[in-house]
Amino acid sequence: MAVMRKIRHFVWGEVPATKTERTLLLKIDWFILSYCCLMYFSNYLDRSNVTNAYVSGMREELNMHGTQYNQINTLFTCGYIVGMIPNNLMLQVVPPRIWLPSMQIVWGVLTFCTSAVSNVQQIYAIRFFQGIAESSTFVGTHYILGSWYKPGELGKRSGIFTSSGLIGTLFSGVLQAAVYTHLNGISGRSGWRWLFIIDGVITMPIALYGFLMFPDVPTTTKAFYLSEEERLLSCERLESDKDKDIEHGHLSWNLIRRVLGRWRWYGCSLLFAVSGETESLGSNNIMGQWLKAIGGYTVPQIDYYPSGMTAFAIVSTLVCATWTDATESRARWPVLVYMAIAGIIASICILIWSSPIGLKFFAYYIAGATYAGQATTFAWANQICADDHQERAVVLASMNMWNNVLNAWWPLVFYPATDAPRFTKGMWAMIGTCIATLLVTWLVWHLERREKRVKASHTAVEGAERGSVVARQKAEDEKSVKSHTGSSRRSQEST
Question: What beta strand segments (E) does 267-358 contain?
Answer: none
Q: Which of 277, 264, 271 is nearest to 393 (CA)?
A: 264
The rounded distance, in Å, linking the Cα atoms of 410 and 404 is 9
Q: Which of 84, 167, 70 is nearest to 133 (CA)?
A: 84
Q: Which of 260, 241, 226 is nearest to 395 (CA)?
A: 260
Q: What is the per-residue pLDDT for 268?
A: 95
Q: What is the per-residue pLDDT for 422?
A: 92
* Spatial contact of 412 and 74, defined as CB atoms under 8 Å apart: yes
Q: For every one of its 495 residues, what pLDDT tens digit does the chain have, with 9 covering 90 and above?
A: 566 566 555 555 666 778 888 899 899 989 998 999 999 888 888 877 887 788 788 888 999 888 888 889 889 988 988 888 888 888 888 999 999 999 999 999 999 999 999 999 999 999 999 999 999 988 888 888 888 888 778 888 888 888 888 887 777 777 777 887 888 888 888 888 998 999 899 999 999 999 999 998 888 888 899 999 988 888 888 765 545 554 555 666 778 888 899 999 999 999 999 999 999 998 888 999 999 899 888 888 888 899 899 899 999 998 988 888 777 777 889 999 999 999 999 999 999 999 999 999 999 999 999 999 888 898 899 889 888 888 888 898 899 889 988 988 898 899 998 898 999 999 999 999 999 999 999 999 999 999 989 888 877 776 666 666 666 676 666 666 566 555 555 555 555
Residue type, 90: M
Q: What is the per-residue pLDDT for 12?
A: 57
Q: Is 1 exposed, middle or buried (0-12, 13-18, 19+ CB in 10 A)?
A: exposed
Q: What is the per-residue pLDDT for 252?
A: 65
C-alpha 35, offset from chain centre: 15
The rounded distance, in Å, linking the Cα atoms of 90 and 112 is 26
Q: What is the per-residue pLDDT for 235?
A: 84
The rounded distance, in Å, linking the Cα atoms of 148 and 410 is 35
Buried b (16+ CB within 10 A) or exposed e, 110-120: bbbbbbebeeb
